[in-house]
Structure 1
Amino acid sequence: MNRSRLLLLGAEAVAQGAIDAGLSGVYAYPGTPSTEITEYIQRSAPARQSGIRSAWSANEKTAYEAALGMSYAGKRSLVCMKHVGLNVAADAFMNSAITGVNGGLVLAVADDPSMHSSQNEQDSRVYGRFAMVPVLEPASQQELYDAMFHAFELSEAVRLPVIMRMTTRLSHSRAGVELKASLEQNPLSAEYAPGRFVLMPQNARVQYRHLLDLQPMLEALSESSFLNQPVEGHGPLGIIAFGIGYNYAMEARKAHSIECRLLKIGQYPLPRTQVNELFEACSEVLVVEEGYPVYEELFRGYFGSAKVRGRMDGTLPRDGELTTDLVAAALGVKPPETATTPEIVVGRPPELCKGCGHRDMFDAINIAIKENADHHVFSDIGCYTLGALPPYNAIHTCVDMGAAITMAKGAADAGLRPAVCVIGDSTFAHSGMTGLLDAVNDRTPVTVIIADNNTTAMTGGQCSSASGSKLVNICIGLGVEEAHIRTIVPLRQHLHENVSVLRDEFAYNGVSVVIAQRECIETAAKKKRRAAASAQ
């Protein structure tokens, strides 16, 4: 293998860049499209030889706090999550902008425009502006790799966390990446700085003032960043393109011989001088940004709405991913004819795997609950969310990680009976335990069904933080009566027994937990293949 050049996914380019930039630890909870960053580091022989810590965390908040602790000790740390995961980590993230960091801390966030595997199209750049920390948004796999060196250096120079923002299309596409010489890890140098890290009000006020005072420096650094640069061109039309939007703009410009000025943006806060120069030279500016119209809205307020085009005026679609054709159409090029799908091609919605234990679990739930005319099953984020689709139609809500238990509790408080919820083992460990504690404390009549398949299956089979006997012990520790912690095996031959257990717990006027325990069929098959291969 040629060590100097590798074919990498965007997520893998971030991972390799972090390894080569002197990383000491990565912390993450799996979430598409960010999962491959941590998996790449876990598979990397050089990372193992260097002792880089790379196990999964229970959730994004614990991951961020652990990464901050490693930074406090002087080491370079990376924390990875998808966009909605940053909501979970937001408390620690926002406050880390006030404390600052010691060793470099990079937060890699993968946004998911078009919601390929997410509940919303949230734009993480808003968090960067909110926290007033630097944000990097590279436009290619090579830039992602190079920007990891820059991000750690920047983090240590300004002593702030740095966000590395990517989107699904960049994270999950491949390109050749030229590698640099790797750096040594930082020495251990824990910082004794209670004035920074003890966020009592008197300290926090000083630190917040310091963060405000840093803003002109951050803007000056953006002015000189290799990620921000004008592209040669002339004429009254201008384009300001952010991150991967730069690729679409350049492709449209070249394919259709469009003459215009173009400013590429990949580091925030905005380089004000470069932006002003573009707007002064142009009578009209198209803003191409993947995600929310975060900066288009600012430009409209500063330069006037008549001069700015983009997502807010319908020149580009307000939702979904951008494409080269969409950008070309915004520049006046007639869009190509949309090919019609042949009738023979039938849509294939996702479904539970053949032989999946969740299928037998939902069969039992549907039989046990159908005797109740007004029944609702609250659920959560995982493979089992597919139980909302035919032929099961078994669940009725899926809002955010951990909401199954708390929504069921609220419905029970309103008088709904039975109040039933389904949550996975990994999701329960992520953010379900506190909801169960609330139910125990209030003695709320809810039945919590934990679909324990012994893995985080939806994102590819990563290890689960809690499964098997650990789940039972957690529920006991939270105060659930042992008599109402029941374990079932979701198999066809146990259907009658499982239905009976569920009926009993649905009728119980208190907190009950039913653990439907059966290993994921995919991870079981992988184990069998590995065992067969090692036996040869």
Structure 2
Amino acid sequence: MAQQLLLGDEALAQGAIDAGLSGCYAYPGTPSTEIMEYFQASAEASERGIHRQWSSNEKVAMEEALGMSYAGKRAMVCMKHVGLNVAADGFVNAAITGTNGGLIVTVADDPSMHSSQNEQDSRFYAQFAMIPCLEPSSQQEAYDMAGYAFGLSEQQQLPIMLRLCTRLSHSRADVRTAASKTAQNGLQPADAAARRFILLPAIAKRNYDALCAKQDTLVASSEASPFNRYEDGADKSVGIIACGIAYNYLQEAFGGKCPHPVLKLSQYPLPKKQLAQLVASCQTVMVLEDGMPFVEQMLRGPLGNDRILGRLSGELPRTGELNPRLVGKAFKLELPAVTTLSPLVKIRPPRLCDGCPHINTYDALGEALKDFADAKVFGDIGCYTLGALPPYNAISSCVDMGASITMAKGAGDAGVFPAIAVIGDSTFTHSGMTGLLDAVWENSPITVMILDNGTTGMTGGQDSMGTGRMAEICAGIGVSRDHIREFVPLPKNHAANVQIIREEAAYRGLSVIIARRECVQTLRKKKR
């Protein structure tokens, strides 16, 4: 065995390579981005011809990975938790079609919303789809789970969710790696093309019956899983269920000497036998989980259960990340003092980079809209969301990927004028194009500003599918070429840019303005 110092994301990626992966599909999103970046930088992945290109959005990535599984190859799809909302159609239906080659759906959750709009817990999606979910407690388990998940997927003919969280994804540990396997051949496409992949109602009903019939087998698999473990303890006043990385936090809080019985939980559905053993032998049960109270809610039930403690009962905070200090506080352990920050250390909010093209765009937009007292600007997900902060105070909303155009259209339908949508190039090709098509259909009186910096800037400069093609895409969707305007956001062009925005904002129909200048960070990387 070799040993490497790896992020949790990197450990999973290397585990997948060593397990015979044929392709990974993903859309960048913190904290999952480094998985694909590891594949793209891997000489081994290159030599093996592993597919490792970004997809235009998570739904596309999910379906591409399912297609590779259909063809009998081992595939992985990666996204952050809110990306699973975008992929949900293909994700849920993949549980109904089943899989051929092993298929891992890797989802990185972001408790405390470090870089996200919410802190939803992806385990609910796995339960909803009725598929197994694996939740590593360490970087080593993230590595080990890749091969295990592929095998489980092929055994059960189901996609397997592998849930990471921010701290595991973005922290490093020594990982022991095993000898790498050649790419998994799986079954041939002709064998995979059994009619179960055709979800006509009659076939879908049979498939769903088969999925329901597998649930007892999936529970038995959890009970036999090497990643679930019952650890007895002398003090049975409280038993502990430690889910995923929470097991790591528990060990840290107690210095590796927890006196209570512990059920280490890293594979779902819940292992009934170990769970029953814990509940029967302990007076109360504390549930430790990083994310929403998923397990705790199931155990408490709709009427509540005073024996079950955790986020819902108040022993742990209802929201935010779990950590060893919160675990220690819940068990009333003596905690070390927290070092206070020096008054010289100031908390600084994020801001647009010096030289960012969005600065010049927002300066022009702000000046142009002084002529429109009722103007509303609908923002989107990306670096340019920082336009909501001073000194710009430029946008009125930011909800989800692509919502700028559709919200502007809805506001325009309600009589708001001018309604301006601000969206980045990567977000536009991710989920803005369909909203633009709606606006084309009705010639909605809105102005769509596409901030084209030639990359997916917020997540580190990944490729953007529409780079250099924005005007052609908009024209192809049906926007009048007379109202597709382009400018370069630079101080020397400020007056001309303000005039373009004024003219299109005043137009009582659909217009698109493309502000095109390369991201300063990707430009610096190229120069280096």
The separation in 2 between residues aligned to 1:358 and 1:193, in whole angstroms, is 48
Is there any run of 5+ residues in structure 1 with no aligned partner, and where? 530-536
Equivalence for 1:489: 488
Question: Could you give the per-residue CA deviations for residues 473-529 of structure 1, whole angstroms, max 9, x where no partner exists?
Answer: 110111100010000000000000000000000011111000000000110111111
The separation in 1 between residues aligned to 2:344 and 2:49, in whole angstroms, is 53
Equivalence for 1:264: 264
CA displacement at 1:439 relative to structure 2: 0.4
The separation in 1 between residues aligned to 2:508 and 2:421, in whole angstroms, is 15
Question: Could you give the per-residue CA deviations for residues 232-279 of structure 1, whole angstroms, max 9, x where no partner exists?
Answer: 422222111000000111222237x65211110000001100000001
Counterpart check, 1:238 vs 2:236: no
Q: Is contact 1:17-1:149 (8 Å) kept?
A: yes
The separation in 2 between residues aligned to 1:498 and 1:22, in whole angstroms, is 52
Equivalence for 1:463: 463
3-state SS of paired residue (1:306): coil
CA displacement at 1:363 relative to structure 2: 0.1
The separation in 1 between residues aligned to 2:192 and 2:13, in whole angstroms, is 30
CA displacement at 1:343 relative to structure 2: 2.5
3-state SS of paired residue (2:49): coil
Q: How does 1:262-411 map to 2 (within 5 A)?
A: 262-301=262-301, 305-411=305-411
Counterpart check, 1:451 vs 2:447: no
Root mean square deviation, CA, Å: 1.3
Question: Could you give the per-residue CA deviations for residues 18-69 of structure 1, whole angstroms, max 9, x where no partner exists?
Answer: 0000000000000000000000001101101100000100000000000000
3-state SS of paired residue (1:291): coil
Is there any run of 5+ residues in structure 2 with no aligned partner, and where? none
Equivalence for 1:522: 521
Please identify, of 326-335 and 278-287, the stretch whose mean Cα deviation from structure 2 is larger: 326-335
Equivalence for 1:50: 48
Equivalence for 1:171: 169
State the identity %.
Answer: 57
Q: Is contact 1:67-1:77 (8 Å) kept?
A: yes
3-state SS of paired residue (2:29): coil
Equivalence for 1:532: none
TM-score (norm 1): 0.96
Equivalence for 2:218: 218
Question: Could you give the per-residue CA deviations for residues 80-109 of structure 1, whole angstroms, max 9, x where no partner exists?
Answer: 000000000000000000000000000110
Equivalence for 2:159: 161
Of 83, 87, 95 in structure 2, the residue corresponding to residue 85 of structure 1 is 83
Change (3 A) 1:304 1:274: farther
3-state SS of paired residue (1:370): helix
The separation in 1 between residues aligned to 2:80 and 2:20, in whole angstroms, is 23
3-state SS of paired residue (2:320): coil
3-state SS of paired residue (2:318): coil
Q: Is contact 2:133-2:163 (8 Å) kept?
A: yes
Question: Could you give the per-residue CA deviations for residues 170-217 of structure 1, whole angstroms, max 9, x where no partner exists?
Answer: 000000111111111122611343420110110000000000000011
CA displacement at 1:338 relative to structure 2: 4.4
The separation in 2 between residues aligned to 1:11 and 1:276, in whole angstroms, is 33
Equivalence for 2:109: 111
The separation in 1 between residues aligned to 2:107 and 2:184, in whole angstroms, is 24
The separation in 2 between residues aligned to 1:340 and 1:376, in whole angstroms, is 42
Equivalence for 1:121: 119
In structure 2, what residue type is equivalent to 1:70? M
The separation in 2 between residues aligned to 1:232 and 1:22, in whole angstroms, is 37
Counterpart check, 1:197 vs 2:190: no
CA displacement at 1:424 relative to structure 2: 0.3
Q: Is contact 1:136-1:162 (8 Å) kept?
A: yes
Please identify, of 223-232 and 277-286, the stretch whose mean Cα deviation from structure 2 is larger: 223-232
Q: Is contact 1:326-1:335 (8 Å) kept?
A: no
Q: Is contact 1:419-1:445 (8 Å) kept?
A: yes
**Aligned positions, number:** 525
In structure 1, what residue type is equivalent to 2:395? I
Equivalence for 2:15: 17
Equivalence for 2:253: 252
In structure 1, what residue type is equivalent to 2:188? S
Equivalence for 2:97: 99
Q: Is contact 1:13-1:145 (8 Å) kept?
A: yes
Question: Could you give the per-residue CA deviations for residues 383-413 of structure 1, whole angstroms, max 9, x where no partner exists?
Answer: 1011111111111111000000000000000
TM-score (norm 2): 0.98
Change (3 A) 1:226 1:502: same
CA displacement at 1:341 relative to structure 2: 3.2
In structure 2, what residue type is equivalent to 1:82? K
The separation in 1 between residues aligned to 2:427 and 2:395, in whole angstroms, is 16
The separation in 2 between residues aligned to 1:58 and 1:323, in whole angstroms, is 34
Equivalence for 1:533: none
Equivalence for 2:510: 511
Q: Is contact 2:71-2:192 (8 Å) kept?
A: no
Please identify, of 118-127 and 231-240, the stretch whose mean Cα deviation from structure 2 is larger: 231-240
CA displacement at 1:159 relative to structure 2: 0.2
Question: Could you give the per-residue CA deviations for residues 316-350 of structure 1, whole angstroms, max 9, x where no partner exists?
Answer: 00001111111111112255544443332222110
In structure 2, what residue type is equivalent to 1:99? T
Change (3 A) 1:213 1:320: same
Q: Is contact 1:106-1:161 (8 Å) kept?
A: yes
In structure 2, what residue type is equivalent to 1:175? A
